[in-house]
Amino acid sequence: MNCTKHPEIDIQGHRGWRGLYPENSIPAFKEAIELGVNTLELDIVVSKDKKVVVSHEPFMNPLICSDPKDDEILNDKALGYNLYNMDYTQIKEYDCGTKFHPGFPDQAKIKINKPLLSDVFKLVKSYNSEVKFNIEIKSKVAYYGEYTPYPKEYVSIVLELLKKSGLMTRVNLQSFDLNILEEIKVQYPNMVVALLVDEDEIIKDKLSKLSYKPEILSPYYKLLNPKNVSKFKSVGFDIIPWTINQEEDLKYMIELKVDGIITDYPDRLMKIINAQSY
């Protein structure tokens, strides 16, 4: 499949291609690139030695990770596996790809570790790929100083890596944390920013709490309807909802004329788009 015929919809592989491959892993990103997604969506945290690690949580999620002795990580002990208290050499000892994922029964079981963001950049460069990056900085106030750096340092660490990568112009940063989003524009005003809106939040209310107008609104998809999509697009926002996996929902988002779609199954989205183009 090839999505170059459909530049009007930004096809974003959620955590790479979580439907079929371990989330936020090199195999998931590799397969998504080969499939032909426009954008890799991924999450980042920071290790004790200030490395930018690709992970949805700042701890080892017991649903997907096992400790180096193949022992089970108990749910009530998971927060003790704090990535911000581990050097990356320790983090990469954990397998986060061979456990059965009940939410994604077709997901391949591959022994993988959490990669560095720099590893993902190396992968993309090795393919000479023009793929873009939608990078979520995982953060909330309760994490500051314990599970993540405070926003000023956190954003600085991320931006330093992005500048060194040479890929800055192909990156947008997103977060649910307004303090992170404010800090991004302080430190790098030209960064394209996406405001993430959770399912229990109201888009316009959250938007009003931000001191500037972000380039992208990225709400939970069920918050969108024809009226608000039209309104937000008319004042210049790109709309990129998350995370849409079912065929009928994917088709509805296309009908709404959103600018991009974040999905665990980019193959499903591409199949729909290709079928509609003939």
Contact by Cβ (8 Å): 108, 20: yes
Tokens of 144: 């500051």
Element (H, E) at 192: strand 192-197
Count, in order, helices (H) and strands (E) of the chain: 9, 9
Residue 168: phi, psi to the nearest 5? -50, -40
Mean pLDDT of 108-128: 98
Q: What integer pLDDT is reported at residue 84 of this predicted model?
A: 99
Q: Is the pLDDT of residue 227 over 90?
A: yes
Q: Is the pLDDT of residue 3 over 80?
A: no
Q: What integer pLDDT is reported at residue 8 of this predicted model?
A: 85
Beta bridge partners of residue 46, listed in sequence order: 52
pLDDT tens sequence across 64-114: 999 998 788 999 999 999 999 999 999 999 999 999 999 999 999 999 999
The CATH number assigned to the domain with range 3-47+114-276 reads: 3.20.20.190
Lowest-pLDDT range, 28-37, 70-79, 243-252? 70-79
